[in-house]
Chains A and B, each alone.
Chain A
Amino acid sequence: DQQVKQNSPSLSVQEGRISILNCDYTNSMFDYFLWYKKYPAEGPTFLISISSIKDKNEDGRFTVFLNKSAKHLSLHIVPSQPGDSAVYFCAAGPRAAGNKLTFGGGTRVLVKP
């Protein structure tokens, strides 16, 4: 039972263009959503998050959009840079104390110079 799904396993984009990563969830208890970036042989690094009371959060080149009615969120990276090449994981959870994160399967992004 995959409660968090990233349907695109990979994405290739030209440097300078926009990267759009998508994520769908099914659990209505999830009220906090995060994106992590992961390089090979390293742990996930926090990128950006959004609470269910918002529909957009922006941090520099990264913007996360949340559509609660569709149970869908997306991460926009603009402009994309070669250093953005990594695997991106969407994660979700109830923000209440002590609860765990449920991760999607990841999207591998390749930014071509």
Chain B
Amino acid sequence: NAGVMQNPRHLVRRRGQEARLRCSPMKGHSHVYWYRQLPEEGLKFMVYLQKENIIDESGMPKERFSAEFPKEGPSILRIQQVVRGDSAAYFCASSPTAGVDGYTFGSGTRLTVV
């Protein structure tokens, strides 16, 4: 029973490029959450999605960031025109139901912008 799978584990992008981070939730989980961890800080909520719907994107920067969770395939967090400040660890969590008590986190994608 595979856990939450995130890929790539490490991603290096030059300033101005696009970054695509993928998250495959656990089997049977239809709720996906994305969090970002800046160096030496805690995790900050970005977006909550269910299949084909964005439920809460209150933590997403207004520009350059977008997320989707299509009917088929993984959830994608997309960052356009990356800047150095986007360098962080991005974690995805999934749960079988809505609510904060069923989260399972993936191992994260470490994005480095050079």
A positions within 8 Å CB-CB of B:
4, 6, 32, 34, 36, 41-46, 49, 89, 91, 93-106
Contacts and interface: CB of A to CB of B under 8 A. Distances in A.
A2 to B, nearest CB: 9
B87 to A, nearest CB: 15
Interface of B: 4, 6, 33, 35, 40-45, 48, 55-56, 58-59, 91, 93, 97-101, 103-108, 110
A32 B48 contact: no
Given A42-B107, A43-B106, A93-B100, A98 B42 contact: no
B100 A100 contact: yes
Contact of B55 (A6, A44, A98, A101): A98
Given A43-B4, A43-B105, A98-B48, A103 B100 contact: no
A contact patch SS: loop
A19 to B, nearest CB: 19
B79 to A, nearest CB: 19
B48 A49 contact: no
Contacts of B44: 103
B100 A89 contact: no
B98 A97 contact: yes
Nearest to A42: B107
A96 B45 contact: no
Closest 4 CB pairs of A and B: A43-B105, A97-B98, A103-B42, A100-B45
A88 B103 CA distance: 16
Contacts of A42: 107-108
A34 B110 CA distance: 24
A108 B99 CA distance: 27
Given A43-B4, A43-B108, A44-B105, A98 B45 contact: no
Nearest to A49: B101
B42 A89 contact: yes
A99 B101 contact: no
Nearest to B107: A43
Contact of B101 (A34, A44, A98): A34
Given A100-B48, A100-B59, A105-B41, A43 B91 contact: yes
